[in-house]
């Protein structure tokens, strides 16, 4: 049994480990185009902001090729997969020396991930223009920031907002430009208000409803041209979104889904026999709506990789789908969501209703208590829980989204949430923790 894996980060390495464990006699080879495997890409902002212990970027590497070899897995760095002959069962790979080889496989996993979108205006070749994805890319950004004074972040999504905090921690002047009329538009509007407030308090210059048209500079970038005038900046971070890397899958004849990511079944099998897909290039099923979604996140990638690894090696595992849980921090705020927002529920044709509640994370009288805002969404008629959004002024309280994520995973109702026996003591919660109060309020609307 020869298992080849294209891509050695989250999904690819999870799959390699599981496949090897499932079938220790099989051969597992991982081809990674970059210089690192198995690194925590989500940690890059925190290295840049000085919140990573010890040796910095290297600390993000979970496992090295040598460690994987010790576990019976071959890792080939700097190897780029260039083509697949699905009928013959071969993968064409170009090595770092430029030599191309054709490798036979029994099972092939495409864990090619997603790449940051770089709009045409940013493809200038100017220095000081960056995206955040890989360790070497982040090291270049780090070097760029050392001489910088004023950084323009293009994009007000979660990476832009995480980076705004990290750059302010480096005492840089920060401008965030967002084409849409608001930041963090994945959230329903009421939850976005405190985010704007936090950025304002921390001196971030926020410009929403502004479209970037080009970059200025000679050699190094000096400004960002927009439909609302020029923004001077000596460094630019482009964070306008990511796109699944599906070229290889398409070339092999694998079907893409409605989301334009690779379509798979619950076993992570693509439409081409013997070829699997997992990670940020792959579509998932939303357990709340039943619809296909593409939400490239670390836990999902790891989980898909495990499932693919087990199945490729002859086992039987099933990916349960996602409920769309996400979380990020920007300054003191924790921002989290799970399930669907009111807007997403309506888009999916659900008869949804949402309630908003502002409360405190711990007992209001306790010195530790900080404001927290929750929006809870349920389905009329069925009483089914559909989703929640939390913005917490002590960021850690946003992690309480997990209670709702857990209940969404088992198809629970708003009443189930209300009846949940949550932990209470004054430094942790109000007697009725805020998700319970929101559930009580929502029950009266269903």
Query: Which residues of the shown chain bind its own copies in the complex (CB under 8 A)?
Result: 10, 40, 42-43, 46, 51-54, 59-60, 162, 287, 297-300, 302, 320, 322-329, 334, 336, 338, 363, 365-368, 395-403, 405-410, 412, 416-417, 419-429, 431-433
Q: Is the dihedral of CA 166, 170, 171, 175 positive or negative?
A: negative
Cβ atoms within 10 Å, residue 256? 17
Please state the closest distance from residue 40 (CB atom) to its own copies, in A.
Answer: 7
Cβ–Cβ contacts within 10 Å for residue 431, how many?
A: 11
CB nearer to its own copies: give 182 or 416. 416
The bridge status of strand 205-208 relative to strand 173-178 is parallel
CA-closest candidate to residue 119, choices 107, 106, 129, 109 = 129
Comparison of 212 and 261: residue with beta carbon closer to its own copies: 261
Catalytic residue status for 42: yes
Q: Which is nearer to its own copies, 53 or 146 (CB)?
A: 53
For its own copies, the closer CB: 4 or 132: 132
How is residue 162 written in tokens? 């995480």
Q: Which among 111, 9, 8, 18 is positioned nearest to 312, based on CA atoms?
A: 18
Contact 333, 393 (CB under 8 A): yes
Tell me the torsion sign for CA atoms 269, 274, 279, 283: negative
Q: 142 or 416: whose CB is closer to its own copies?
A: 416
Q: Least separation, in Å, of the C-beta of 294 and its own copies?
A: 15
Q: Of 1, 26, 27, 42, which one is the catalytic site residue?
A: 42
Q: Can you spell out the DSSP letters for 248-284?
A: HHHHTTPPB-TTSSBP--TT-B-SSTTEEE-STTB-E
Q: Shortest Cβ distance from residue 228 to its own copies (Å)?
A: 31
Nearer of residues 252 and 401 to its own copies, judged by Cβ = 401
* Long-range Cβ contacts of 267-274 (<8 Å, 24+ apart): 267/307, 267/308, 267/311, 267/316, 267/317, 267/318, 267/319, 268/109, 268/304, 268/307, 268/308, 268/311, 268/319, 269/311, 270/110, 272/86, 273/86, 274/86, 274/89, 274/105, 274/106, 274/107, 274/108
Token pair recorded at residue 284? 């998932």
The CB-of-338 to its own copies minimum distance in angstroms stands at 7
Q: Which of 356/416 has CB closer to its own copies?
A: 416
Rounded-to-integer distance, Cα 446 and Cα 378, Å: 7
Category of 22 on φ-ψ map: left (φ > 0), alpha (ψ -120 to 50) or beta: alpha
Pull the structure tokens for residue 276. Answer: 């699997």
Closest CA to 214 of 198, 229, 195: 229
Beta carbon of residue 407, minimum distance to its own copies (angstroms, whole number):
5
Q: Output the smallest distance, CB 359 to its own copies, in A.
A: 14
Separation CA 170–CA 146 (nearest Å)? 9
Least Å distance, CB 363 to its own copies, is 6
* Least CB distance to its own copies at residue 416 (A): 5
Nearer to its own copies, 79 or 306 (CB): 306
Residues noted as catalytic? 42
């Amino acid at each position: 049994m020869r298992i080849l894996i294209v891509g050695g980060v989250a999904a690819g390495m999870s799959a390699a480990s599981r496949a090897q464990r499932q079938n220790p006699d099989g051969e597992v080879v991982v081809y990674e185009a970059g210089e690192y495997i198995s690194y925590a890409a989500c940690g890059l902002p925190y290295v840049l902001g000085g919140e990573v212990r010890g040796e910095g970027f290297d600390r993000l590497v979970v496992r090295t090729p040598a460690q994987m070899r010790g576990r019976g897995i071959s890792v080939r760095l700097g190897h780029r997969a260039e083509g697949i002959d699905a009928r013959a069962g071969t993968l064409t790979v170009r090595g770092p020396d430029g030599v191309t080889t054709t490798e036979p496989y029994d099972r092939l996993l495409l864990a090619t991930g997603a790449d940051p979108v770089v709009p045409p205006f940013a493809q200038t070749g100017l220095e000081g223009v960056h995206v955040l994805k890989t360790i070497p890319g982040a090291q270049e950004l780090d070097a760029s920031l050392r001489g910088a004074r004023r950084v323009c972040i293009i994009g007000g999504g979660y990476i832009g907002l995480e980076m705004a905090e990290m750059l302010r921690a480096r005492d840089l002047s920060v401008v965030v430009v967002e084409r849409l009329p608001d930041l963090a538009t994945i959230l329903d509007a009421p939850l976005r208000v405190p985010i704007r407030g936090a950025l304002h308090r921390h001196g971030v210059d926020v410009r929403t409803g502004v479209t970037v048209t080009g970059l200025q500079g000679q050699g190094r970038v000096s400004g960002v041209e927009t439909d609302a005038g020029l923004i001077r900046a000596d460094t630019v971070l482009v964070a306008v979104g990511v796109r699944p890397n599906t070229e290889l899958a398409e070339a092999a004849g694998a079907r893409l889904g409605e989301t334009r990511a690779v379509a798979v079944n619950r076993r992570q099998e693509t439409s081409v026999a013997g070829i699997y897909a997992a990670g940020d290039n792959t579509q998932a099923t939303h357990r709340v709506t039943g619809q296909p979604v593409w939400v490239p996140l670390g836990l999902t990638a790891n989980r898909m990789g495990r499932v693919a690894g087990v199945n490729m090696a002859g086992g039987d595992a099933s990916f349960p789908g996602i409920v769309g849980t996400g979380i990020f921090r920007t300054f003191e705020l924790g921002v989290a969501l799970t399930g669907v927002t009111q807007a997403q529920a309506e888009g999916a044709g659900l008869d949804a209703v949402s309630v908003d509640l502002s409360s405190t994370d711990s007992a209001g009288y306790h010195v530790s208590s900080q404001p927290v805002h929750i929006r809870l969404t349920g389905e009329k008629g069925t009483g089914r829980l559909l989703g929640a959004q939390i913005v917490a002024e002590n960021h850690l309280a946003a992690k309480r989204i997990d209670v709702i994520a857990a209940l969404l995973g088992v198809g629970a109702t708003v009443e189930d949430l209300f009846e949940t026996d949550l932990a209470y003591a004054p430094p942790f919660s109000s007697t009725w923790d805020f998700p319970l109060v929101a559930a009580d309020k929502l029950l009266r609307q269903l």
